[in-house]
Amino acid sequence: MHNKGQGSFGCVYLVFHQEEGVVATKIMKPEKFDKREWDAAIQLTKQGKNIYVLQYLSYSPQNSYVKMFMKYANMKTLSSIIENTDKFLPLYINRALMKQILEGMRVFHIAGLIHRDIKCDNILLHCPPGSGRVHAKISDFGFAKKENVNIIDIQHQSLDMFINPP
């Protein structure tokens, strides 16, 4: 086990999972476990795999702690890249990252979920081994909220607002 970080929720460790290989494991006290985060992960999984949303694998409640297993994003967060660089990222990189984040948000909305905590700390970066590419992955679904909203209705209402402003 390798400690990757600590927060108010608990700790994140890298562990070896027999089927998935190296995964991230969030270990927390039961009172810090947010069932909404897990429920949101299940809703997103029903939509199919998406490389721009962090995939949660399973959770294991114990007496004194809960372990949540998820795919490992092998780079830093978007905020650590932005805060620790003296140079601006080129426009084409910003454009690619934004497109990936929006694609991840589309998956949330198709699942009827609203993330409600999109920020650079919750965007993990991952470079699939040997690919030479970087993918942005939306993480931390603890504030996600299920909404029974029809996406087509929203698009129609938005178009009406654009064509006929109030």
Per-residue pLDDT band at 4 (split at 50, 70, 90): confident
The domains of the chain are located at: 2-160
* pLDDT for residue 95 is more than 90: yes
Euclidean distance between CA atoms 30 and 50, whole angstroms: 29
* pLDDT for residue 161 is more than 80: no
The fourth-level CATH superfamily of domain 2-160 is Transferase(Phosphotransferase) domain 1 (1.10.510.10)
> pLDDT tens across 7-41, in order?
667 899 999 988 889 999 999 998 888 888 888 88
Catalytic member of 117, 121, 153, 160 = 117
Query: What's the pLDDT at 145?
Result: 82
Residues 6+ apart with CB under 8 A from 115: 105, 108, 138, 141, 143, 144
Query: What's the pLDDT at 166?
Result: 54
Mean pLDDT in residue range 114-139 = 93
- What pTM does this model have? 0.80
Mean pLDDT in residue range 107-128 = 91
> Cβ distance 161 to 154 under 8 Å?
no
The question of whether 117 is a catalytic residue gets the answer yes
